[in-house]
Amino acid sequence: MKRNYDVAAYIWPSYHHEPRVEHFWPEKDGEWYTVRRGTPRFPGHDMPRIPLLGCQDEADPKVMRQHVELALAHGINVFIMDWYWYANAPCFERQLNEGLIPALEGTDAKFYLMWANHDVNDLWNMHVDTYWDRPQKPLWSGQVNRAELEPMFDRIIEKYLPLDSYYRIGGKPVFSIFDYANLVTGLGGVAPTRDAFDWMRKRCVARGLPGLDIQAIARSGAGVEAGAKLEPGSEQQTARDLAFDSATAYQYVRLVHTGDQVFFAGGENMSYTGSDDIQLTNHVYKNGLDIGCHTDSYEKIKSFNPTWIATGHTDPYPVNDGFFDGLEKGGKAFDSVHNALMPLGDDDIHFGAESQGGKLKHYHAHHEKAGSMEFWGWVLNPYPTAQTAYISIAAPVGWSSESITIELGPREQKEFSISLAPPANTTCRRLPVGLNLIVGGRPFGQVAEALVTIGHEFH
């Protein structure tokens, strides 16, 4: 069955020689300098972690062709390139120009640019500690003014946007912006930035393209990069004012909501006051969900007809006019988005809207001394047909996991127990272990985790 969606992966192109950052990585093969120097921080910490393919030069088209083929074989068909521009010059671009673009020829894979317009400090320097609670001195600014933006973007049009391998939405090439707060500051405000966006779209049309899809990286706060001067909480409205064409997230590092309760930003005491308020829901479904769960919750809450709501995540707030209408609208939108973006059909291979293939308990496993330990939990069959599942626990070298086989009916969820044994005299604190799942001969990776503490006081 032909899929009607694309799966994209970000590429941070630091694993090749970039002369502009040679002071960070002096051995002239990029951030492999840092990777090779990874050191264990606690017993059982397996460092350095060297990739199975080795420390490859990602500016080599043969290397990138191997990566493209591996990605396609595992369902990834779009690459979002972190693209950098500092002091009126590109940075990290050899990976794209010499490696990825030639490697894409003759394949169905595409790429597009995410302008990583954040400032640069010493974060990439492994020999300098970064303290996020202290002011950061920028080495390069990610901000540009209009006179700097225009020739930069003309260069992007010339080099990248017309390529057959460049990714498009609705026929328009996509250009993503990591930190639009920093962009607004550099361009002098929201109105000048909106004007610059209009110019960028018209410039593309003038060069024979059908337009431009300007994409926002969604975030819920003003950000920590130097120069991000927007007031906290104002970025969603700023994004609306800038009229982005699309939005995505950068590994959800800026989305910090907790719990799966629905609440609203704006209005007194977090209560819902009108259609212009912003509904916030969790992006990590920690407490479980499925299609229809929000609507079901809405119907139950409405049947109680409460006058106050206590979520456990905010102060209690009163129920105002429009509150239930907002919940109903949000529930329908939740179902619509998940049905549109996820392969949840009866014949598809999926773990449901939650995309959780299993659970491992106790999540916090504490033992006074090393010895065999028992976990239990459940796994889910993602297939519409009966399948055989193979389960084990991924743990540090030297640990021994039981391997078990479970027969699963179509879409069946089944409980299990499994043992794991560390080496004698092992001590560790909150060491992550993972639940490996293979179903129907297809590996689904580590679908759940637990944290193991041995020989430390448990809090």
Count of CB atoms within 10 A of residue 101's CB? 19
Sheet containing strand 400-401, edge to edge, reads: 358-361, 373-380, 413-421, 400-401
- The whole-number average pLDDT for the span 70-92 is 96
Q: Are 195 and 150 in contact (CB under 8 A)?
A: no
Residue 326 shares a structural domain with residue 183: no
- DSSP per residue over 193-261, as a string? HHHHHHHHHHHHHHTT-S--EEEEE--SS--SSTT--SPTT-HHHHHHHHT-SEEE-STTTT----SS-
Q: Which CA distances in Å does 120 have to 17, 142, 180, 204, 225? A: 18, 7, 16, 29, 9
Instruction: Look at residue 430 and tell me if it is in a domain.
Output: yes
The percent of residues in the chain predicted with pLDDT above 90, rounded, is 54
Residue 211 shares a structural domain with residue 292: no
Residue 74 shares a structural domain with residue 207: yes
What is the reported pLDDT for 396?
87
**Parallel, antiparallel or unpaired: strands 442-454 and 428-439:** antiparallel
Residue 198 shares a structural domain with residue 55: yes
Q: Report residue 213: phi and psi, to 5°.
A: -95, 105
- DSSP per residue over 259-294, as a string? SS--EEESSGGG----TTSEEE--SS-TT---TTHH
Which one of 309, 341, 373 terminates a domain? 341
What is the reported pLDDT for 247?
87
* Both tokens assigned to 146: 């209009």
Give 272-298 pLDDT, tens digit per residue: 344 444 444 433 444 556 778 778 887
Banded pLDDT at 312 (limits 50, 70, 90): low
Give 131-159 pLDDT, tens digit per residue: 767 787 889 999 999 999 999 999 999 99
> Per-residue pLDDT for 221 more than 60?
no
Instruction: Look at residue 351 and tell me if it is in a domain.
Output: no
What is the reported pLDDT for 161?
98
Residue 37 shares a structural domain with residue 135: yes
What is the reported pLDDT for 420?
96
Look up the domain containing 371 and give its range.
358-454
Residue 101 shares a structural domain with residue 226: yes
> Per-residue pLDDT for 203 more than 70?
yes
Instruction: Look at residue 176 and tell me if it is in a domain.
Output: yes
What is the reported pLDDT for 325?
85
Banded pLDDT at 313 (limits 50, 70, 90): low
Residue 172 shares a structural domain with residue 80: yes
Residue 369 shares a structural domain with residue 222: no
Count of CB atoms within 10 A of residue 334's CB? 19
Instruction: Look at residue 253 and tell me if it is in a domain.
Output: no
Instruction: Look at residue 3 and tell me if it is in a domain.
Output: no
Which one of 295, 314, 341 terminates a domain? 341
> Per-residue pLDDT for 366 more than 80?
yes
Residue 97 shares a structural domain with residue 241: yes
Q: Are 27 and 57 in contact (CB under 8 A)?
A: no
The residue with greater pLDDT, 157 or 324, is 157
Residue with tokens 């055989």: 388
Cα distance from N-terminal residue to C-terminal residue, the chain: 50
What is the reported pLDDT for 8?
95
* Both tokens assigned to 211: 């337009």
Instruction: Look at residue 398 and tell me if it is in a domain.
Output: yes
Residue 36 shares a structural domain with residue 97: yes
Residue 206 shares a structural domain with residue 296: no
Residue 84 to residue 90: CA distance in whole angstroms? 6
Instruction: Look at residue 195 and tell me if it is in a domain.
Output: yes
Residue 355 to residue 158: CA distance in whole angstroms? 40
Summary mean pLDDT of the chain: 84
The residue with greater pLDDT, 273 or 164, is 164
pTM here is 0.60
Which one of 248, 278, 297 terminates a domain? 248
Q: Work out how many domains the chain is built from and give that number.
A: 3
Q: Are 283 and 237 in contact (CB under 8 A)?
A: no
Strand partners, 374: 419
Give 29-57 pLDDT, tens digit per residue: 999 999 999 988 777 788 898 998 999 99
Question: Which H helix or E strand runs over 110?
Answer: strand 110-115
Crossing angle of helices 235-242 and 180-187, rounded to 10°: 70
Q: Which residues contact 193 (CB under 8 A, 6 or more apart)?
A: 180, 183, 184, 187, 242
Instruction: Look at residue 255 and tell me if it is in a domain.
Output: no
Residue 188 shares a structural domain with residue 303: no
